[in-house]
């Protein structure tokens, strides 16, 4: 019996040593392609916000009404590649940016990825670009950031547009973020992500966002894969989970939204449930709801013209623009 207990204790100690020591021995890949070398758009530039090198694209006349796009999970400035030029042609200034931890922006471990800090980040970003106010367009998790921003900085939001927004979706339990603050678990998370996340997996995940993904080309997949070639790409995903406490809005806060709001939803979205669109339209005062037929989670890619038209129609008569 004593021998069995000793063997058991030895086994437990060995497992604990592996758990606590191995993640500091197994190499974590911190290399990658420098983000500046991956820029392909002549309007692309970098700006430092909260010490984070932030990639953005700014198109159109500087004195035109501003549309500021906020991408979701896995997204970047590339998410809006089918939409931007159409809005610029209509006389808008269109600004897109890679949220910290995504795209070509830096992904520092020390950054506070909470939604509250991301709203402050957006405020500083707009200030540096001399944008007084804008139409804020947020997709999925970016819709959650956009909603928080509208609550915190209503004077900076002319209109709020939520696209298949993950506003009512609860985040991970608080204890998960607490676990990730423990260095061995953080390192295990990085090791695991780097081991299992491949381009094939990304492509499979993307396909689930659409009703019919056959429109996607190799260039589309390249646009999404670009971010995962940068150094420390995994930190952004882990940081969002680590700092997720307090990200979920209470329903009462939605009733306090000041800006007029347009809700756009893919009518066959299986990622953020279509039922959430109806709930948001009920909870947000003066909200209008538009469905984009036969589209999934990313209607701005699957039906870009219908998506642009929905926004143009909503803003027509609300914002005066001068076509170039």
In a domain, 14, yes or no: no
- With respect to residue 155, please indicate whether it lies within any of the assigned structural domains: yes
Q: By residue range, what is the domain housing residue 91?
A: 41-315
The percentage of the chain sitting over the pLDDT mark of 70, rounded to a whole number, equals 95
Candidates 306, 308, 273, 235; CA nearest to 69 is 308
- pLDDT (0 to 100) of residue 249: 79
Please indicate, yes or no, if residue 124 is contained in any of the structural domains.
Answer: yes
Which residue do the tokens 């027509």 mark?
316
Please tell me whether residue 209 adopts helix, strand or coil conformation: coil
Average pLDDT over residues 305-317: 97
In which band, very low, low, confident or very high, does the pLDDT at 34 lie, cut at 50, 70 and 90?
Answer: very high
Across residues 53-82, what is the average pLDDT?
96
Q: How confident is the model at residue 6 (pLDDT cuts 50, 70, 90)?
A: low
What pLDDT was estimated at residue 146? 97
Whole-angstrom distance, CA of residue 227 vs CA of residue 144: 21
Task: Kindly state whether residue 133 falls inside one of the protein's structural domains.
Answer: yes
With contact defined as beta carbons under 8 Å apart, do 298 and 266 qualify? Answer: yes
Q: Specify if 52 maps to a domain.
A: yes
Instruction: With respect to residue 27, please indicate whether it lies within any of the assigned structural domains.
Output: no
Residue 191 has pLDDT above 90, yes or no: yes
Specify the CATH number for the domain of residue 223. 3.40.50.1820
Number of domains in the chain: 1
73-87, 251-265, 273-287: which range is least confident on average?
251-265
Under 8 Å CB-to-CB from 292, ≥6 apart: which residues? 264, 265, 266, 267, 299, 302, 303, 306, 307, 310
Question: How many CB atoms lie under 10 A from the CB of residue 303?
Answer: 21
């Amino acid at each position: 019996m004593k021998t069995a207990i000793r063997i058991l204790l030895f086994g437990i100690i060995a497992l604990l040593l592996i758990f606590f020591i191995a993640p500091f021995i197994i190499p974590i890949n911190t290399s990658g392609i420098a983000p500046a070398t991956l820029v392909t758009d002549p309007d692309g530039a970098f700006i430092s916000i909260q010490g984070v090198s932030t990639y953005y694209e700014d198109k159109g006349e500087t004195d035109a009404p501003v549309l500021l796009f906020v991408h979701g999970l896995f997204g970047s400035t590339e998410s809006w590649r089918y939409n931007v030029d159409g809005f610029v042609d209509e006389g808008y200034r269109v600004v897109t940016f890679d949220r910290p931890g995504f795209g070509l922006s830096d992904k520092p471990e020390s950054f506070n990825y909470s939604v509250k800090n991301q709203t402050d980040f957006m405020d500083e970003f707009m200030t540096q670009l001399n944008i007084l106010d804008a139409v804020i367009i947020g997709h999925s998790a970016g819709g959650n950031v956009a909603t928080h921003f509208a609550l915190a900085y209503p004077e900076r939001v002319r209109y709020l547009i939520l696209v298949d927004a993950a506003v009512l979706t609860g985040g991970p339990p608080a204890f998960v973020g607490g676990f990730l603050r423990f260095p061995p678990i953080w390192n295990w998370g990085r090791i695991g992500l780097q081991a299992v996340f491949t381009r094939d997996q990304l492509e499979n995940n993307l396909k689930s966002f659409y009703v019919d993904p056959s429109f996607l080309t190799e260039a589309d997949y390249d646009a999404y894969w670009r971010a995962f070639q940068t150094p420390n790409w995994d930190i952004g995903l882990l940081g969002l989970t680590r700092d997720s406490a307090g990200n979920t809005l209470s329903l009462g806060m939605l009733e306090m939204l000041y800006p007029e709001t347009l809700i756009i939803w893919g009518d066959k979205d299986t990622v953020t449930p279509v039922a959430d669109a109806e709930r948001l339209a009920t909870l947000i005062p003066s909200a209008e709801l538009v469905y984009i037929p036969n589209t999934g989670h990313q209607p701005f890619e699957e039906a870009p013209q219908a998506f642009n038209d929905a926004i143009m129609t909503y803003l027509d008569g609300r914002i005066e623009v001068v076509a170039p």
